Chains A and B, each alone.
Chain A
């Protein structure tokens, strides 16, 4: 079985752990994992690549069931100041055509109360939020991607020396949304594109060296999404190293030495899930974006 197939099996086998509710309440970790799972589902649904197709009905049924649980549905209204964060999973599902009346009504109320953008966020999180509103169809027109991009770290990049993990995640997420995960050519000049690819490759060497597989995966996804058809030696070798970090069971450890192997050294299955779930979602995204990039037209709109 392929590495992608094993990763999908691992996600399938742990699907219940993506539930946002723990002990009847929305849990911060659960909400994050649920939102990320919903995002991956939304893109796999849109791309409809054959290897992923038969997994999606189960994922959709799980996501919809969780989205409709009364305790989850009511949470945004109980905490209106931070409601949008709770609605991100729904917005991702909404992009696939799914609608749920209670959430629609909540979105309408938040808009009337001017609460959709009430929380102050760092610029790449603003880009993420606007992307979610647009992707879901809630925004009728595209945001001004260029001005959103200009406010981020990547819009005015310092030397690679100045990047810590937080700044690197800002870069990877900015590129996710700017390219719509490879669906859209970014609004960058040729020289900006060169600089961006250079920066991504420089960060890639760093995170590969220290074995930070979560960021290695995200940076490789970025290169897929930027639509470079030719593999540079760095990209090619980093991808090889990344593949060798895969666990035998399909889980990808976030960092070297964390949950490596088959997981038998993890304290509990929940511990291993927490260590590996995000990097494993990224791994699936890596395969899916590579497939999209390989299609005729590369990063031309697939919509």
Chain B
């Protein structure tokens, strides 16, 4: 937890000093997530009507498009968990497929998908060596200023300060949400 707290403190400082005022709502969400990482309260979104009524077989995931995988991960992360608490849920296979998929997207540099997958896996209470690698990868993406992502080259192409700030903020909040989910799961287990 110490590392998660350190990451949260750094991100909080970046959000307070750097995030653009016109993105105040997103910045405030980021600051709230930083507090959740430091003191998990179990109050992350939990919605029985998230739209998730059934899970596909885990081995269907590699064939999903990026968009479909993001939608599924999002629905899982917002779900109340009733779907996978049913009998027959193969947690080992889900853990392996989600972990391998997260590392696969990490190799492609797609941080948003890695964050979404790790968040979904945490919500499902899954762990495993590949998911741990993916979590560590996300944490390693924090920059010295507290933001997340390795986007300097891409953002330089944008040449637009406002867009750059928004992209960095969105990605940082995505990762913070995932780390808050991880922190909540760890707190539940203690």
Contact = CB atoms under 8 A, between A and B. Distances in A.
Chain B associates with chain A: yes
A206 B99 CA distance: 11
Given A233-B93, A234-B97, A241 B133 contact: no
Given A201-B96, A206-B103, A234-B96, A159 B133 contact: yes
Nearest to B69: A209
Nearest to B101: A205
A241 B133 CA distance: 26
B106 interface: yes
A210 B59 contact: no
Nearest to B92: A233
B67 interface: no
A161 B101 CA distance: 11
Interface string A42-84: 0000000000000000000000000000000000000000000
Given A209-B101, A233-B93, A160 B62 contact: no
Contact of B59 (A163, A198, A234): A234
A234 B101 CA distance: 12
Contacts of B106: 161
Interface residues of A, number: 20
Interface string B90-124: 10010011011101101110000000000000000
A206 B63 contact: no
A233 B133 contact: no
A209 B62 CA distance: 5
B58 interface: yes
A165 B96 CA distance: 21
The interface centre, meaning the residue of A163, A206, A210, A236 with most chain B CB atoms within 10 A of its CB, is A206
Interface residues of B, number: 23
Interface in A156-173: 159-161, 163-164
A202 B103 contact: yes
B130 interface: yes
A230 to B, nearest CB: 13
B59 A206 contact: no
A157 to B, nearest CB: 12
A206 B93 contact: no
B35 interface: no
A84 to B, nearest CB: 34
B140 to A, nearest CB: 10
Given A159-B133, A234-B59, A206 B90 contact: no
A188 to B, nearest CB: 18
Interface of A: 159-161, 163-164, 198, 201-202, 204-206, 208-210, 233-234, 236-238, 241
7 contacts: A159-B133, A160-B100, A201-B96, A234-B59, A234-B97, A237-B57, A238-B62
Please provide the 7 A-B residue pairs with the shortest distance between their CB atoms, ordered closest to farther. Answer: A237-B59, A205-B100, A206-B104, A209-B62, A202-B100, A208-B62, A159-B133
